Chain A
């Protein structure tokens, strides 16, 4: 084995995002993102706890007559598919396909926008039926606070994804900079998993607890 060959096979990646030289050998940016997601988990935990506490103490008209399960199921499906397009965008940039990354990032942002449009329509419907953020009942306040905060997270995610597309067009994103896309992806998938919980806890379980067949069974 020649000296030059030995040098080539023992190449160590020392780029800033490689985690080289850190105690855990993990990129600090990625670790920080996970720490943020853990804290956001607690944040949504308190909002879900708030919803559960308030909806069980709600008085007046049953709020679940407003919720449209088939409609929200489609919204949940759209958000799940946006997670698929997001990982495909990441896979594209990791193999150096910047055009592919742009296409899939735009697809992800579009799916996120469809979800937000659906949420806007749902909120408008609820408003016309008498639900408001404040001054109506505990369910209304807790529901709008929880789902609205999630919608805000999706909005931030869409802006983030579109920013990456703009950066890709102006400065370009190399495969060695794929961590930028991966971190945005982590945030996007987190938004997706939060909706998985909200869909089950608020829409399905909440609705089931007030449905006549279950009261009998």
Chain B
């Protein structure tokens, strides 16, 4: 990992190198291509939903961990963000259950 040569705010934390950033971008592009391919290939049946969920969640985690530096910053920031994410997911799940899951 490349250490910062400047940036007082995060001088104590290591961040990825530009090469690693590019590798992450290539992985993100490949995952996006796979997502679109999964959409057009009709072999997966109902499994298309968990597959798309896993693929988009992987992209989310990659951007959060490497581009937003959550992998390298103090864990309190991850917990803060995950807290909001959990509430958002619970809201989506709750409304889905309310309107569709219980005969809505």
- Which residues of A approach B to under 8 Å, CB–CB? 13, 15, 17-19, 24-27, 30-31, 34-35, 37-42, 44-46, 48-50, 52-53, 56-57, 69-70, 73, 76-77, 80-81, 83-84, 86-88, 91, 93-96, 174-176, 178-179, 182, 185-186, 189-190, 192-193, 196-197, 199-201, 204-205, 207-208, 211, 213-214, 217
- Residues on the A chain within 8 Å of B74, using CB: 24-26
The residue in chain B whose Cβ has the minimal distance to the Cβ of A205 is B52
Measured CB to CB, the closest approach of chain A to B2, in angstroms, equals 8
Complex partner residue of A49 from B8, B76, B95, CB under 8 angstroms? B95
A-B contact pairs, 20 of them (CB 8 A): A15-B9, A17-B9, A18-B8, A18-B11, A19-B9, A26-B77, A41-B84, A42-B88, A56-B99, A80-B29, A93-B6, A94-B5, A94-B6, A178-B7, A179-B8, A185-B67, A196-B59, A199-B56, A201-B56, A211-B42
Tell me the complex Cα distance, A18–B39, Å: 46
Chain A CB within 8 A of B18 CB: yes
A38 near B9: Cβ-Cβ < 8 Å: no
Could you tell me the dominant secondary structure of chain B's interface residues? helix
B32 near A46: Cβ-Cβ < 8 Å: no
A178 near B6: Cβ-Cβ < 8 Å: yes
**A41-B85, A84-B22 known; A205-B29 Cβ under 8 A:** no
Known: A42-B91, A77-B29, A217-B45. 11 other contacts (CB 8 A): A18-B9, A26-B76, A35-B80, A38-B83, A39-B84, A45-B91, A57-B99, A176-B7, A193-B63, A196-B56, A196-B60
B39 near A69: Cβ-Cβ < 8 Å: yes
B7 near A182: Cβ-Cβ < 8 Å: yes
Complex partner residue of A42 from B32, B35, B76, B87, CB under 8 angstroms? B87
A73 near B36: Cβ-Cβ < 8 Å: yes
**A87-B21, A91-B21 known; A80-B32 Cβ under 8 A:** yes
